[in-house]
Chains A and B, each alone.
Chain A
Amino acid sequence: MKGYDLLQLAVRNLRQSKLRNGLTTVGISVGVASLVAMLSLGVGLQQMATRRLAGSGLFDTVFVTSRQDFRGFDREDDAKNPHPEQAPVLDEPARVRITKLTNVTEVEPEIRVMGEVVSGGETHFGFVTGLPMSARENEAFDNLKGKFFSGNDADEAILLTDFAKELSPKNPSEVIGQDITLRYGERQALAPEQSDQPQMAGGENNASAGGSNGDDFGFSVVRKLQKLRVVGLIDAEPYGGMRTVSRGRIFLPVGATERLNMAQFTDMRSSLRGASGKSYMTLTVRVKDPGKVAAVQDAINRMGYRTFSVLDATKSLRRFFTVLDLFLGIFGSLALAVATLAIINTLVMAVLERRREIGVMKAIGASDLDVKKLFFTEAGAMGFFGGVLGIVLGFAIGKAINIGTGIYLHRHQLPAEAVWTMPGWLVGAAIAFSIVVSLLAGLYPASRAARLDPVQTLKYE
């Protein structure tokens, strides 16, 4: 029998006993729904955890330093590289190469300097930190008052609310939109003839050191003023204050801090090195997702730099979620196992009921295989419809879980969070799984139907 005819006949047969087959299909759908709801919960929890980790900005980031610097932190690494002076410098070409690595989304230097804000005749001291544009995703900006930076090069600042209180004790929010003046030290290249005679006794706005940079002969630090528009306030330091760049009270776009050429503490180190060209102390490399961190780290290591990431935490997290998914899957499958018994029962009943019909079909030319296929197709069709219905049902259950947790979180003054997510692959996989399970359940009834002896079934009763 042709496939289409088979399917048509099967669906037609199913419709003959609507109630029984309908109930069986609902049984399958409940099984599929529970499986889908459980697995989606697992996926949702995993995504939530990953989102939290990504939000912390620690797990998708690789910190890169030159092996010339920070000796002594990693003895194993030091032992492997006994000649730090030969290690490559973390300079602009290196930054470009790292930017071009696959799965790297952003490479920014860590810039943190001291600065002063002049306001109403008073000066307020604070650390000035350059933030990459990706920091917007950080959870610290979830409760951002005002706006984020308009661009990586904008002359804008975001302040810690505590710092804004210093500027405007009564109403810190009114600082947003105002201009402030930032006083900072700019790193200025020295002219070649000055380099041989370092001016140790600088004026109030002048310090110098012999060394390297784009400024090959050393640099001086000059006091500068820069007008900035305050665009937003945040309550807490980004990245949970766990990264160098997060420790500050005045935040600027990292591009702006680079353009302003702010002198950093670490410039002293590079001034001693004697190599030419601008170099970075630390680059933070953002990776597309935490799973790709290891690969990126390897690639940068091969370039000769030292890397650091909080990778191990994500590894054990993945292991935890694999186990969780497994258990959720097993619990979810229990209902489907019961549904399987229902299919077997329904089809065995159908075989008994349709004994004569099967006999007639055989007498007019159906082969054993045709009969087997017919019952098989009926089982598969129930599986398909059950699967589709199950997805819908599972979706409804998931929505209910999300709404429920949303209300719970709201009561505890926490932001709403989707703990349940149904990924696209699960929809297809659940329907396919439902069909396969139904076909397996159909094996016995179908072969039983195929074995029926037409002579016996057609005997006139």
Chain B
Amino acid sequence: MGESLIRAIDGVSLTIEPGEFVALLGQSGSGKSTLLNLLAGLDRPTSGSVVVHDRDLAKMSSEELARYRRNDVGMVFQAFHLIPSMTITENVDLPMRFAEVDRAERVQRSRESLERVGLSKRMEHRPSQLSGGEQQRVSLARALVNRPPLLLADEPTGNLDSRTGEDILNLIRDISLSLGMTVVMVTHERVLAERFAQRLIFLADGKLVTEEVRA
């Protein structure tokens, strides 16, 4: 189609400390989602590097990236992205299947994970039987089940009303604190970001504009 190369992320240099809760803010098209996808190992930079735990994602093979996504990253999406044909338990179970966790341990870990997000009573339901907030909790349980050190959230409150959104973010912050998890969240809701994140990073046209550290 002869597209010209669009630099979704251009010259962004950023360091995130372990256990930090960082919010990426910006207009749509500012490159914040692309940055998140780079961190998730779903996308590769055309140049430069993404170093997570001393490993450069840009140099990994697709198989290594898959292993990285499986073991080091948990992802939460705006649209939840649960598999509609599977029950809640099966959805949470899925990442462990890819990680080849033993069956007995999988059952245990799914339950633990669902308990952590407060959904232990609806394990055999399908996603369509749950409310948006509940679906996002399932999505969070799924992201946690392989015990990754890094949680990436792409507009996690975008499909939720403000009250439910807050609940979810509270949950994410609690989990982050109790498990020592690093959280990177993309959002365009500045108020929420200011309330929950320790650091706010503003992007525009693929470039880092300002950084704001909160107490």
Q: Interface residues, chain A, CB within 8 Å of chain B? A: 1-2, 5, 9, 12-13, 16, 356-357, 359-370, 454-455, 458, 460
Decide if A366 touches B81 in the complex (CB within 8 Å): no
Supposing A367-B62, A367-B66, A454-B42 touch, asked if A1 and B83 sit within 8 A by C-beta, the answer is no
Q: How close is B86's CB to chain A, nearest CB, in angstroms?
A: 8
Q: How close is B9's CB to chain A, nearest CB, in angstroms?
A: 13
Which of these, A1, A16, A460, contacts B97 with CB under 8 Å?
Answer: A1
Interface readout for B49-91 with A: 1 if CB under 8 Å, 0 if not? Answer: 0000000000000110011011100010111011101000000
Decide if A361 touches B62 in the complex (CB within 8 Å): no
How far, in angstroms, from A379 to B63 measured CA to CA in the complex? 23
Decide if B69 touches A5 in the complex (CB within 8 Å): no
What chain A residues lie within 8 Å of B77 (beta carbons)? 363, 458, 460
Which of these, A361, A362, A367, contacts B42 with CB under 8 Å?
Answer: A362
What chain A residues lie within 8 Å of B67 (beta carbons)? 365, 367
Interface readout for B142-171 with A: 1 if CB under 8 Å, 0 if not? Answer: 110010000000010010000000000000
Supposing A1-B100, A370-B66 touch, asked if A363 and B40 sit within 8 A by C-beta, the answer is yes
How far, in angstroms, from A357 to B84 measured CA to CA in the complex? 9
Which of these, B62, B78, B79, B142, contacts A364 with CB under 8 Å?
Answer: B142
Q: How close is B160's CB to chain A, nearest CB, in angstroms?
A: 14
Decide if A357 touches B37 in the complex (CB within 8 Å): no
What chain B residues lie within 8 Å of A2 (beta carbons)? 97, 100
Which of these, B42, B63, B82, B95, contacts A368 with CB under 8 Å?
Answer: B63
Decide if A364 touches B42 in the complex (CB within 8 Å): no
Decide if A460 touches B78 in the complex (CB within 8 Å): yes
Q: Can you spell out 13 A-B residue pairs with CB atoms less than 8 angstroms apart? A: A12-B85, A356-B81, A361-B98, A362-B42, A364-B94, A364-B95, A364-B142, A364-B143, A368-B62, A368-B66, A454-B42, A455-B42, A460-B155
Decide if B98 touches A1 in the complex (CB within 8 Å): yes
What chain A residues lie within 8 Å of B98 (beta carbons)? 1, 361, 364-367, 370
How far, in angstroms, from A365 to B66 measured CA to CA in the complex? 5
Supposing A5-B97, A458-B77 touch, asked if A367 and B37 sit within 8 A by C-beta, the answer is no
**B209 near A: Cβ within 8 Å?**
no
Decide if A364 touches B100 in the complex (CB within 8 Å): no
Given contacts A360-B83, A364-B98, 20 further A-B contacts (CB under 8 A): A1-B98, A2-B100, A16-B85, A356-B81, A360-B81, A360-B82, A362-B69, A363-B69, A365-B66, A365-B71, A365-B146, A366-B70, A366-B98, A367-B67, A368-B63, A368-B66, A454-B42, A458-B81, A460-B155, A460-B158
**B43 near A: Cβ within 8 Å?**
yes
Which of these, A5, A16, A364, contacts B75 with CB under 8 Å?
Answer: A364
A6 and chain B: residue at smallest CB distance: B97
Supposing A363-B75, A455-B43 touch, asked if A9 and B62 sit within 8 A by C-beta, the answer is no
Q: How close is A72's CB to chain B, nearest CB, in angstroms?
A: 81
How far, in angstroms, from A369 to B70 measured CA to CA in the complex? 14
Decide if B79 touches A455 in the complex (CB within 8 Å): no
What chain A residues lie within 8 Å of B43 (beta carbons)? 455
Decide if B66 touches A362 in the complex (CB within 8 Å): yes
How far, in angstroms, from A364 to B82 measured CA to CA in the complex? 11
A357 and chain B: residue at smallest CB distance: B83
Q: How close is A1's CB to chain B, nearest CB, in angstroms?
A: 6
Q: How close is A245's CB to chain B, nearest CB, in angstroms?
A: 72
What chain A residues lie within 8 Å of B42 (beta carbons)? 362-363, 454-455, 458
**B99 near A: Cβ within 8 Å?**
yes
What chain B residues lie within 8 Å of A364 (beta carbons)? 69-70, 75, 94-95, 98, 142-143
B85 and chain A: residue at smallest CB distance: A16
What chain A residues lie within 8 Å of B94 (beta carbons)? 361, 364
How far, in angstroms, from A175 to B28 measured CA to CA in the complex? 109
How far, in angstroms, from A190 to B78 measured CA to CA in the complex? 116
What chain B residues lie within 8 Å of A363 (beta carbons)? 40, 42, 69, 75, 77, 81
What chain B residues lie within 8 Å of A365 (beta carbons)? 66-67, 69-71, 95, 98-99, 146
What chain B residues lie within 8 Å of A458 (beta carbons)? 42, 77, 81
How far, in angstroms, from A458 to B40 measured CA to CA in the complex? 13
What chain B residues lie within 8 Å of A9 (beta carbons)? 97
What chain A residues lie within 8 Å of B83 (beta carbons)? 357, 360
Q: How close is A452's CB to chain B, nearest CB, in angstroms?
A: 12
A454 and chain B: residue at smallest CB distance: B42
What chain A residues lie within 8 Å of B85 (beta carbons)? 12-13, 16
Q: How close is A457's CB to chain B, nearest CB, in angstroms?
A: 10
What chain A residues lie within 8 Å of B81 (beta carbons)? 356, 359-360, 363, 458
Residue from B79, B82, B97 whose CB has the most chain A CB atoms within 10 Å: B97
